[in-house]
Amino acid sequence: MGDTAFEPVRAFAEELDQTDPLAVYRKEFYLKEGVIYLDGNSLGLLSKRAEQTLEEVLDAWREYGIDGWMSGKHPWFTLSEKLGAMTAPLVGAYPEEVVVTGSTTVNLHQLTATFYRPEGKRTKILADALTFPSDIYALQSQVRLHGLDPAEHLIQVDSRDGRTLAEEDIIDAMTEEVALILLPSVLYRSGQLLDMKRLTEEARRRGIVIGFDLCHSIGAIPHQLHDWGVDFAVWCNYKYLNSGPGGPGGLYVHEKHFGRLPGLAGWFGSQKDVQFDMEHRFTPSAAAGAYQIGTPHVLSTAPLIGSLEMFADAGIDRIREKSLRLTRYLMQLVEHELEGMGFSLGNPLEDHRRGGHVCLEHPEAVRICKSLKKHGVVPDFRAPHVIRLAPVALYTSYTEVWEAMQILKQIMKTKDYEKHPKVREVIA
């Protein structure tokens, strides 16, 4: 597990907190007393900076009305591009290659419609069997729009163990029939981090367009999308980037594709200086902004301004370093405190293969999650037997991780989970 320094006592966790260079950011978030929040890989917590920038945009609406599009501290007309530039260091891209817009699935539809061009032998999309369902729904839809059958033209690489993917299996599936590849950067259940650099190199060698869904990696790990040669990527901003529930997503397109006509054209993808000419001839932006479709959701976007300012201050490399140490410490506690209680780790143990959360498996996972919530620990359940625990670098302390494991240990000893029905909630 990399750094093996470990002592199974609270004092060790407190010492880690005292020497943590990112501990100062905890005070920037609204942390509920008596609650240990370990679900930041589903929805990140509200920060005071995000709240402030939302209020600033509301003030601009109050002060300027329609003129807020071009006036105030954060003019709305160019806000999506500004935030794209602020996001670019987190994904290893040039500022003009990134824009904040749409949602993960809308952006996936946009970029698949742009880059999926079945022709001759190359008619198939390559994905995987463990990816988030929404991505598969979108890909199936795009295949059907070309008059093709997803059962034949959408390939999903199987997992050998039901948890992880072997890069070799994905590469073997990159045949001359594949026109486009879409893969997750981090698997949403097991937390496996794929080798994006290697997979992109193999796709490029075969002349296949490749894109990634970064929902479970952006804000938790560094990327080098431009240097790796990744063609496109999509993501949400409300998990590790703490932009708020339903906040707009983001997309990246490599500069080598600039000038390509978007598959789904909309007026906010226009070149800015001619957008209000109202011509019926679309003049797309010369950068990633071309892939915007409709008017930006300004109020939903506003919290991301403050959040990204904090990420710029903290630095994604330091965030990744602490994230790895937090998850490693959590796994060490699982092995020490929960031995013989039926738990197993479903995520890769190696640092270079692990994203930002721990996948804890147990036959009673759904009931254990209910019991954890009752005792002030917020986890995340994924059917059929996964407890996802995501200690987030900017606001989770090592002491909280230690406390959460003590609570879980007590729940198992007393069998408190047996008080709860073995049925998941509507939202898991």
Task: Summarize the annotated binding site as residue ranges.
Answer: 104-105, 132-135, 213, 216, 238, 267, 295
Is-catalytic flag, 213?
yes
* Two structure tokens written together for 343: 């738990």
Is-catalytic flag, 115?
no
Check 94, 132, 137, 258 and give the catalytic one: 132
Specify the 3-state DSSP secondary structure of 184. strand
Under 8 Å CB-to-CB from 369, ≥6 apart: which residues?
Answer: 379, 380, 381, 387
With DSSP H G I counted as helix, E B as strand and the rest as coil, what are the percentages for the chain, rounded to 5?
A: 45, 15, 40
Rg for the chain (alpha carbons), in Å?
Answer: 22
Is-catalytic flag, 256?
no
**Of residues 404, 410, 329, the one with CA closest to residue 12:** 329
Check 29, 37, 238, 417 and give the catalytic one: 238
φ, ψ dihedrals at 170, nearest 5°: -65, -45
Is-catalytic flag, 388?
yes
Check 49, 82, 124, 239 and give the catalytic one: 239
| Residues annotated within a binding site for pyridoxal 5'-phosphate | 104-105, 132-135, 213, 216, 238, 267, 295
The vertex-199 CA angle with 101 and 181, nearest 5°, equals 55
Check 20, 213, 231, 416 and give the catalytic one: 213
φ, ψ dihedrals at 308, nearest 5°: -70, -30
Check 343, 380, 388, 416 and give the catalytic one: 388
Is-catalytic flag, 238?
yes
List Cβ<8 Å contacts ≥24 apart for 34-37: 34/376, 35/376, 35/377, 35/378, 36/376, 36/377, 36/378, 36/396, 36/400, 36/403, 36/404, 36/407, 37/378, 37/392, 37/395, 37/396
Q: Which residues are catalytic?
A: 132, 213, 238-239, 388
